[in-house]
Structure 1
Amino acid sequence: MKLAVGLCLLLTLLSAYYIYIPLPSTVSEPWKLMLLDATFRGVQHLGHLAHHLGLSHYITVLNFAVMSFEILAPLSSENVRVSDVMFDKVLVRVFEATKLPSKDLKRSVIYIHGGGWALGSARMRSYDHLCRKMAEDMNAVIVSVEYRLAPDVHFPEQYTDVYVATKYFLHPNVLVRYSVDPDRVAISGDSAGGNLAAAVCQQLALDHSVSNKLKLQALIYPVLQALDFNTPSYQQNRDVPILYRPLMARFWLEYLNGDIGFIQPLLVNNHSALELSQATMSRAKLNWTSLLPSNFKKNYKPVVQTIGTPRVLEEVPAFLDVRAAPLLADKGVLQLLPKTYIMTCEHDVLRDDGTMYVKRLEEAGVQVTHDHYDDGFHGCMIFGIWPTYFSVGVRTMTNYIKWLDQNL
């Protein structure tokens, strides 16, 4: 009996040790975040083990676990019709509001889910909930793109899938089929989906073959560059879940089909060193010392290497491709972009990516709404339903949909 009690106590202590991590006092519902993070870290450890043993790719294990968790209690709504269709060989899930039939044309949002270009799906419970709510609250048509994922495909395939599906939907005949107003279509996405949304929005602005242009873009804690892994938010939040700095570097390398051994050079900015002339012009477009407000910069210092690792950009030139890193776009391109909403969270390594884009868009004359959450963390907007319910998730989702409703 004493042995059983002792083992139980030991397991409890070990579990508490594994779950507990120090978090900023201002982060929303820290114990819930610790539990969520412990679950995700456990899955990552299994992924590393499976990869090391040659049983499966690390990312494949992560995605299997995420999708298995997300199929709990599938959602349904009498007021939203859902269909899975192909848009020019790209699978999309269409959510059509049915509660308020009207002869008037509907608004529409093309939504791209996050997940580091490697995880997730339009069929995930969290994204299904978000798109159903958007469709119902706005009496709109939501098109969620089921783009292909790493490690099965790499850049530019994810980008191409979203671009092809978006361009297909904007065709006049397709808009008529779904009773969508051609002047009231937006594109949106979170995290890596925000990256794809921003990149597609830029390229569509330059595509003269597309007669119907996007009215809005709405980017949720987007990832927009991979040349500086030491912005103030990367330094401040390097140990804050759920998106740790090394994991973001790995997602980039998986997306761009780079050597995973490059993670360490990325983390110390060796790939954007001063000696690497091919990165010179790009570095100027993400100079956070001039693009960030003082309350974000705090006392952090730029990490700039004089001598770097040239192999990184030689083998992965896509780090400098604006389709992969929209923050690197020229001002002339940014001037063509529509009214924009950007959400950032204080406890997120990507906070400064979004904030720098706000500043660059404003300097280009684009009207921007910057919605910042002091208690938010990366991914929080999709954590608004059981079992991953966070109050900040409900607030961010409510305010995001409200902005779309008022501006689209």
Structure 2
Amino acid sequence: EKAAALSLSLLSCRQFCVTEVATRPGRISAQEDFLPTQLEHLHIAQFKAGDFTGAVQTLRSFLLFYPSDKDSLDNLQLYLETLGGDKDSHDTQPAQEIVRYISESLEEKKLLYFGVENLDFSFTDPDLWTPEDVVPESIRDAWRAEKEKLSEKIEDGNQLEEVDDSGFFAGGAVPQVGVTLSMDDEALNGTNRVVLDGVMTEAECGSILQLASVAASVGDGYRGRRSPHTPHETFEGLTVLRAVKLSQEGLVNQSDARLLHELGERVKTLLHSYFRSPSGLFISFTHLVCRSAVTGDQEGRLDLSHPVHVDNCLLEPETKQCWREPPAFTHRDLSAILYLNDNFDGGEAFFTKRDAKTVTAQVKPSCGRLLGFSSGPVNPH
């Protein structure tokens, strides 16, 4: 069984090679249908340049992906008519590299879908051109059911709330021993949301809390403003860089600074796997944060610890639009909160609809609990 899982993982990796090629620098999502799209552009360019034989070969290569595409079949007829009586050009076959690629890819897909159906293997097909008959009927039935649910949501006017085009797909593996999945999309009533428990031990939580008590600075990251989000709470923070500098000066334990950095990498690994990231993830910012209620200033509070917002765009609740422009963190794709303790009142994270009022889910803090979610407009919080 382990050998089968390893073999399937290798095949899955091979299937996703095309997405690596199809991902432009600075982007997280691959261009859809990359190879067929390149062939489509190429045969048109060849025809316009007068390379009719090359256009026929490229178009026949494209038709291996989509053999019944009417526009392409019409174009092929046009190209052949343009060639006239040139029999050799008429007989031009698809590029052998494409023939071989498709043949190997389809054999791999058959094995992978067998694993999905019979061995509980997780595989998300990166290609749009995969023929239906390659996919087992039971899996196609499940897809149809999901599509019907999505159609119902769209008909109900919830498309903006439910559809996430970030390129992430929740439900991947949890690769760290001892970490458990506590809440998924269904439990959190949303898209690309997850709660994982056991990411830190009690001892690790204690070490980081001690580090915060010694080294966190008031208003860190907010130009020293003591209460940047609400006058009823104070805000303290510590970056990894500052923790390292303090450890070099002997003011904090090097092991604690190292642990703070390692926790960021741990979270990155977990979210990369669970959200099935189509490309590598890179940490943009790790911030150790302490929020403390101002004593004697809590009675009758109506404000929030942090106003409802979206991380990578500017939420406009009145219109339910989200504008991807500064000062939002437009570069951010995934967000995460790793909790250290729960010995206080309140502190729950919550998600809302785009109106910033309708709460859809809540998450209580506890040591080692990780809340992860895609940073776009489907996840106001």
- Asked whether the two chains share a fold, i.e. TM above 0.5, the reply is no
Rg bigger for which structure?
2
**Greater per-residue helix proportion:** 1
TM-score by length of 1: 0.21
TM-score by length of 2: 0.22
